Amino acid sequence: MTSRRNFLKTAGLGGAATLAAPAIVKAQAPIKWRMQTYSGAPLGAHVIKPQIDAFNKAANGEMEIELFYADQLVPTGELFRSLQNGTLDAVQSDDATMASPVDISDFGGYFPFSTRYSLDLPVLFERYGLNEIWAEAYGEIEGVEWLGAGAWDPLHIFTKDPIRSLADMKGKRVFGVPTAGRFLARYGLIPVTVPWEDVEVALQTGELDGVAWCGFTEAYEVGWADVCNYALLNNVTGAWCGSYFANSDSWAKVPPHLQELFKITMDQSHYYRQVWYWGGEADLRVNGDKLELTTIPAEEWDQVVADAEGFWEELAAKSPRTKKVVDIFKKYNKVMEQVGVPYRYS
């Protein structure tokens, strides 16, 4: 009772009021990121925008990512440097296209005949050790965090004039990704670099004869199927290898629960693309009406596949780490060949 009386006496002096007053919590300003993708807006609507929209919604005001498309803030070839110096907080790209200064960069994008299907790539990263190799390589570079890789579409060649033999490749100027472009150059294709948004116009004006950048799903989605006439069914590899990266300082400022949220939405994005590409490729090859399908005879294409072995060895000779990657691809493909259906049909 004494304690209660004392409490009541002090209530009028503000004691009770002080205890009862609700805490005033000041809202902390949200973390702001600027992120640029390798892709233009029509493609970005599928390969990254759903993820960023989902992240921003789930972050509930604690963090907001502003998304930019190909070349909007910096040229694609400067993505790595701009990420490292903090101009960008995050990037979605393949290692080769963004000019990553790591020995394994040639394996990003399209590494010739390294995969048959899009599911091969995540298996290689998750179960065959590529995750650890990529983390090790980027761990040696200051200022950039590698966050993970996923699979995109297979690589086909789309042109205005038909390719029905290796000889038909000679002299054709194509927009494409660096590693596959270097490999295909030995058959006379001429890799040409233009801003992503300029590709369609360059095809219309004759600056480009085709693209060696994507599969059917993208070619139709972004409008390139409208300005090309032919699609070569002999694909160079089964999946593009793309990654997510963050500036190290920017990543360190993100609390653990939001880091985890970003990685969860990355996985969501990988799954979305698997379905979007896989379904699109099949449907458009059968039902698409904008491109005539051509093939290079098997006896000629077999030589291309054989030539890829030498290309692999060239990259394996760059460093002990690149040799380790090539050895993993060899091991994986051997397993796939031995297991047969449904993993490999031929």
| pLDDT one-digit tens code per residue, 285-330 | 999 999 999 999 999 999 999 999 999 999 999 999 999 999 999 9
Task: Tell me what pLDDT residue 5 has.
Answer: 43
Closest to 166 in 3D by CA, of 303, 13, 56: 303
- Reading the block at residue 246, the tokens are 């963050």
Q: What percent of the chain has pLDDT over 90?
A: 91
pLDDT at 27: 52
Spatial CA neighbour of 217 closest among 133, 151, 139, 154: 154
Helix axes 298-316, 320-339, angle to 10 degrees: 140
Structure tokens at 219: 């070619």
> Model-level pTM greater than 0.85?
yes
Return the CATH number of the domain spanning residue range 31-152+239-284: 3.40.190.170
Mean pLDDT of 22-46: 83
For residue 114 the two structure tokens come to 């390294």
> Which pLDDT score is estimated for 177?
86
pLDDT given at position 345: 82
Cα distances from 158 to residues 174, 190, 231, in angstroms, run 9, 14, 5
Superfamily of domain 155-238+289-339: Bacterial extracellular solute-binding protein, family 7 (3.40.190.170)
What's the confidence (pLDDT) of residue 22?
A: 47
Share of the chain above pLDDT 70, in %: 92
pLDDT digits (tens, 9 = 90+) for 181-219: 999 999 999 999 999 999 999 999 999 999 999 999 999
Domain ranges of the chain: 31-152+239-284, 155-238+289-339
Per the prediction, the chain carries an average pLDDT of: 93
Mean pLDDT of 246-274: 98
Q: Per-residue pLDDT tens for 129-180?
A: 999 999 999 999 999 999 999 999 999 999 999 999 999 999 999 999 899 9
Tell me what pLDDT residue 118 has: 95
Pairing mode, strands 241-247 and 90-93: antiparallel
The rounded distance, in Å, linking the Cα atoms of 307 and 284 is: 29
> Which pLDDT tens digit goes with each residue over 95-142?
999 999 999 999 999 999 999 999 999 999 999 999 999 999 999 999
In CATH terms, are 31-152+239-284 and 155-238+289-339 the same topology?
yes
Residues β-bridged to residue 191? 174
